[in-house]
Structure 1
Amino acid sequence: MSSLDVLGAEFAERRAVMLERLAEVGAAHAEALAGGGPAYQRRHRERGKLLARERIELLLDPDTPFLELSPLAGWGSDFTTGASIVTGIGVIEGVECLVTANDPTVRGGASNPWTLRKALRANEIAAANRLPVVSLVESGGADLPSQKEIFIPGGALFRDLTRLSAAGIPTVAVVFGNSTAGGAYVPGMSDHVIMVKERSKVFLGGPPLVKMATGEESDDESLGGAGMHARVSGLADYFAVDEPDALRTARRVVARLNWRKSGPDPRPDPLPPLFDAEDLLGIVPGDLRTPFDPREVIVRIADGSQFDEFKPLYGPSLATGWAEVHGYPVGILANARGVLFSPESQKAAQFIQLANQRDIPLLFLHNTTGYMVGREYEQGGIIKHGAMMINAVSNSRVPHISVLMGASYGAGHYGMCGRAYDPRFLFCWPSAKSAVMGPAQLAGVLSIVARQSALAKGRPYDEAGDAALREMVERQIEAESLPMFLSGRLYDDGVIDPRDTRTVLGLCLSAVHGAPVEGARGFGVFRM
Structure 2
Amino acid sequence: MTVLRSRLDPDDPAFADNRASMLAKIDEVEAEHAKALAGGGPTYVDRHRARGKLLARERIELLLDPDSPFLELSPLAAWGSDYPVGASVVTGVGVVEGVECVVIANDPTVRGGASNPWTGKKTLRAMEIAEQNRLPLINLVESGGADLPGQKEIFIPGGRLFRDLTRFSAAGIPTLAVVFGNSTAGGAYVPGMSDHVVMVRERSKVFLGGPPLVKMATGEESDDESLGGADMHARVSGLADHLAADEHDAIRIGRGIIARLNHTKPGPAPTAARDPRHDPAELLGIVPDDLRIPFDPREVIARVVDDSDFDEFKPAYGSGLATGWARLHGYPVGVLANAQGVLFSEESQKAAQFIQLANQADTPLIFLHNTTGYMVGRDYEQGGIIKHGAMMINAVSNSTVPHLSVLLGASYGAGHYGMCGRAYDPRFLFAWPSAKAAVMGPRQLAGVLSIVARQSAAAKGRDYTEEQDAAMREMVENQIEAESLPLFLSGRVYDDGVIDPRDTRTVLGLCLSAVHNAPVRGVRGGFGVFRM
TM-score by length of structure 1 reads 0.99
Question: Which residue identity lines up with residue 116 of structure 1 in the other structure?
Answer: G
Name which of 235, 238, 245 aligns with 1:234: 238
Q: Which moved more, 1:208-217 or 1:159-168?
A: 208-217
Once residues 290 and 249 of structure 1 are traced to their aligned partners in structure 2, the CA distance between those partners, rounded to angstroms, is 55
Q: Helix, strand or coil: the match of 1:447?
A: helix
Deviation at 1:458, TM superposition (A): 2.6
**1:183 pairs with 2:187:** yes
Q: Helix, strand or coil: the match of 1:367?
A: strand
Q: Matches of residues 150-299 of structure 1 in structure 2 within 5 Å?
A: 150-267=154-271, 269-299=272-302
CA-to-partner distance for each residue in 1:194-236, whole Å, 9 max, x for gaps?
A: 0001000001111111111111111101110011111111111
Q: Helix, strand or coil: the match of 2:16?
A: helix
Deviation at 1:460, TM superposition (A): 2.4
Name which of 81, 86, 103 aligns with 2:107: 103
Q: Helix, strand or coil: the match of 1:150?
A: helix
Name the structure 2 match of 1:71.
Answer: 75
**1:127 pairs with 2:131:** yes
Question: Which residue identity lines up with residue 250 of structure 2 in the other structure?
Answer: A
Name which of 1, 7, 18 aligns with 1:3: 7
Q: Helix, strand or coil: the match of 1:141?
A: coil
Once residues 464 and 256 of structure 2 are traced to their aligned partners in structure 1, the CA distance between those partners, rounded to angstroms, is 73
Deviation at 1:262, TM superposition (A): 2.2
Deviation at 1:457, TM superposition (A): 2.3
Deviation at 1:461, TM superposition (A): 1.7
Q: Matches of residues 376-525 of structure 1 in structure 2 within 5 Å?
A: 376-521=379-524, 522-525=526-529
CA-based RMSD: 0.6
Name the structure 1 match of 2:94.
Answer: 90
Name which of 27, 30, 35 aligns with 2:31: 27
Question: Which residue identity lines up with residue 154 of structure 1 in the other structure?
Answer: G
Name which of 350, 357, 361 aligns with 1:354: 357
Name the structure 1 match of 2:120.
Answer: 116
List gaps (5 residues or longer) in structure 1: none
Question: Which residue identity lines up with residue 39 of structure 1 in the other structure?
Answer: T
Once residues 168 and 196 of structure 1 are traced to their aligned partners in structure 2, the CA distance between those partners, rounded to angstroms, is 26
CA-to-partner distance for each residue in 1:482-521, whole Å, 9 max, x for gaps?
A: 0000000000000000000000000000000000000011
CA-to-partner distance for each residue in 1:255-289, whole Å, 9 max, x for gaps?
A: 0111111243111x211101111000000000000
Once residues 459 and 488 of structure 2 are traced to their aligned partners in structure 1, the CA distance between those partners, rounded to angstroms, is 38
Question: Which residue identity lines up with residue 395 of structure 2 in the other structure?
Answer: A
Once residues 251 and 259 of structure 1 are traced to their aligned partners in structure 2, the CA distance between those partners, rounded to angstroms, is 13
Name which of 146, 149, 152 aligns with 2:153: 149
Question: Which residue identity lines up with residue 427 of structure 1 in the other structure?
Answer: F
Once residues 496 and 515 of structure 1 are traced to their aligned partners in structure 2, the CA distance between those partners, rounded to angstroms, is 25
Once residues 385 and 424 of structure 2 are traced to their aligned partners in structure 1, the CA distance between those partners, rounded to angstroms, is 20
Once residues 226 and 417 of structure 1 are traced to their aligned partners in structure 2, the CA distance between those partners, rounded to angstroms, is 46
Question: Which residue identity lines up with residue 318 of structure 2 in the other structure?
Answer: G
CA-to-partner distance for each residue in 1:443-476, whole Å, 9 max, x for gaps?
A: 0000001111122223222210110110010000
Name the structure 1 match of 2:348.
Answer: 345
**1:52 pairs with 2:56:** yes
Question: Which residue identity lines up with residue 151 of structure 2 in the other structure?
Answer: Q
Once residues 140 and 455 of structure 1 are traced to their aligned partners in structure 2, the CA distance between those partners, rounded to angstroms, is 58
**Count of equivalent residues:** 527
Once residues 142 and 463 of structure 2 are traced to their aligned partners in structure 1, the CA distance between those partners, rounded to angstroms, is 63
Q: Which moved more, 1:36-45 or 1:211-220?
A: 211-220
**1:335 pairs with 2:341:** no
Once residues 17 and 224 of structure 2 are traced to their aligned partners in structure 1, the CA distance between those partners, rounded to angstroms, is 61
CA-to-partner distance for each residue in 1:169-211, whole Å, 9 max, x for gaps?
A: 1000000000001110100000000000100000111111111
Once residues 13 and 489 of structure 1 are traced to their aligned partners in structure 2, the CA distance between those partners, rounded to angstroms, is 30
Once residues 332 and 259 of structure 2 are traced to their aligned partners in structure 1, the CA distance between those partners, rounded to angstroms, is 29
Once residues 155 and 460 of structure 1 are traced to their aligned partners in structure 2, the CA distance between those partners, rounded to angstroms, is 52
Q: Helix, strand or coil: the match of 1:182?
A: helix
Question: Which residue identity lines up with residue 322 of structure 2 in the other structure?
Answer: A
Name the structure 2 match of 1:301.
Answer: 304
Once residues 78 and 156 of structure 2 are traced to their aligned partners in structure 1, the CA distance between those partners, rounded to angstroms, is 20
Once residues 7 and 156 of structure 2 are traced to their aligned partners in structure 1, the CA distance between those partners, rounded to angstroms, is 55
**1:41 pairs with 2:51:** no
- The change in CA–CA distance for 1:190 and 1:458 in structure 2 (over 3 A counts) is same
CA-to-partner distance for each residue in 1:273-326, whole Å, 9 max, x for gaps?
A: 011110000000000000000000001000000000000000000000000000
Q: Which moved more, 1:273-282 or 1:447-456?
A: 447-456
